[in-house]
Amino acid sequence: MPHWSVATTDLPLPTVPCPGADPELERFGRLAAGHLGAPVALVSVLTDTEQLILGAVGLPPDLEAARRLPLTHALCLEVVRREEAVVVPDARDDPALAAHGAVTDLDVVAYVGCPLRDDEGKVVGALCAIDTAARAWTDEQVAYLADLAAACTSELRLRGERERARRTQRVATEAHRHGRLLLTMAEAFTAATTVAEVTRAVSRVAAIGLGATMSGVALLDADGHGLTYTSMDAFDGHGVEALRHAALTDDRPVAHVARTRVPLYFRDHTALVRRFPGMAGIDAGRDRPLPDGGRAVLPLVSRGRLLGVLTLGWPVPRDFRQENREVKAALAGYTAQALERALLLDQRRDVARTLQDAMLTALPQPDRFRLAASYLPAAQEDQVGGDWYDGLVLPDGDLVAVVGDVTGHDMDAAARMGQLRSTLRAFAWDRPDGAPSSWLARLDRADAGLGMGTVASALVARCAPLGTAADGTPGGTPGGVRVTWSNAGHPAPVLVRPGAGGRLLDPGSDLLLGVDPARDRRDHATDLRPGDTLLLYTDGLVERRDVALPHALERLAREAGRLADREPDRLVRELTAALVDGRPADDVAVLAVRVQAPDRR
């Protein structure tokens, strides 16, 4: 049997094997060659530029390795063009084929090929038998080859279906992974309320979801002229500080992305340095080089405003396909939104703290008294609430101590609290000869008459050294103090006496402010000795859902008595820590007034 061989060494055969070569299709070649008695049989499909040989029998070594032929040497192109079987007993006698490359260069003489069709019936290749000698192909041989070609077509279609199914599965898997990653991103950033929490969430998502071992968030400086990294996770080592800040005019990836708002992707660090040569000098200052892996530098933009730049790094080179870039863009989008929220909350917290500081002014420290206070808000976002404390020295030297509680735990409650607090201070200063009940009554009427409409509890106490009180009562304990108070629906004060513990001063309370300004209000009085402490507080210190109020008040008195010898500032601090476990459910304000012994000099 003659052997097919390449007749010229000028034929440009590729050295890369055909990626579609399949042992299963070799079987069709063997069946065709065996039944037709041909030395060569091929299962081939055409591309726009070449013939791919998927199954073959009888190829010479060079073609066996390449499994590709240029279209100039592809006789199956005639089958594709004609869309029917091509039968050639002797190509040398066929004017249309005598000069064909397969005839002149590959010694093809006799040829018979039947069409292979795709799912739409289009002819894409041929199953053919080849001989290097002239021969007459019988009708039975052509019919057999046509049947075999039909079976081969079915196999190719089945393989196509399988490949489409695999592609669909890959797309579905990638979509599922993409969806889970987006969900992970959303969940990771939901609870982030500070810039530090956002950068930690970025690092976690980048590591778990994207495999990035390095991440850094650079925020735009307040002047808009530079960027400063707030986090540089894994960008460690001596010399890393040189990377922390960048001017927008620098020839660095982070500055370029900030200027253009267009992301940059680098297969490896070498490519990055090739694009930005100035980075080589910064790298030279490090005690150990960065890994030569992939880099992504992404703008952080929210509602058209540039907030900063996100840098991600991988330990090995990385090719960024389009779907990968979309995931990185999604991470940058989530990061930008979370950063904008965190920055706004930071600004709000700054405003709230300024507001609270303005309302909770420094306490006076007159000679006969030592005052200390503690304030703990329930609203962690604003750090303000409706509870307040106050201390005021009247023109005659008496001390006024106040605690109050406006409904709410936000900036609105704090604003309404400020109105009541300032109004009460003005009434007490304007009528220094008045009793606490008169000041609260005037405040209640003003609350209604001025349209403030605020419901609040408050307790006002006036502390006067005995013999100089407003009612002129003389005598009493040497160095003692007469305390007169009025209670508008507020928790009762506690008297803390060294050696005697703490006890509740609870003769009852009157109606809340803002309910019925016509109702009468009462005053109550008791005497304090030097060393005694009057403790005023808001209900957040004692009220618990799982503890009955009488039990909570008993514990308050007991804990306050245990701390009777503490200095006032330590007393309020340790008492709050003992009764409030972690973040309070309600605002907490505590005010301690310690009676000092008179100066005998």
Smallest CA-to-CA distance from 321 within 217, 180, 178 is with: 178
- What CATH code is assigned to 360-595? 3.60.40.10
What is residue 526's predicted lDDT score, i.e. its pLDDT? 97
> What confidence score (pLDDT) does residue 21 get?
58
Beta bridge partners of 524: 485
pLDDT digits (tens, 9 = 90+) for 397-424: 999 999 999 876 667 777 788 889 999 9
Max distance between CA atoms of the chain, in angstroms, equals: 144
What digits encode the pLDDT tens for the residues 361-402? 789 999 899 999 998 877 555 556 778 899 999 999 999 999
Token pair recorded at residue 339: 């950063």
Q: Which CATH architecture has domain 191-348?
A: 2-Layer Sandwich (3.30)
The radius of gyration computed from the CA coordinates of the chain, to the nearest angstrom, equals 45
At residue 595, does pLDDT exceed 90?
A: yes
CB 335 within 8 A of CB 296: no
Residue for token pair 């506690």: 494
Angle subtended by helix axes 568-579 and 549-562, to nearest 10: 140
Q: Regarding predicted confidence, which is higher, 285 or 403?
A: 403
Residues forming CATH 3.60.40.10 domain(s) in the chain:
360-595
CATH superfamily name and code, 23-162 = GAF domain (3.30.450.40)
Q: pLDDT tens digits for 19-44?
A: 545 778 889 999 999 999 999 999 99
Could you tell me where in the chain the CATH 3.30.450.40 domains are found? 23-162, 191-348
User: Higher-confidence residue: 370 or 475?
Assistant: 370
Comparing 245-254, 308-317, 347-356, 387-396, the range with the smallest average pLDDT is: 347-356
* Whole-angstrom distance, CA of residue 43 vs CA of residue 122: 16
The pTM score is: 0.52
Predicted pLDDT of residue 473: 46
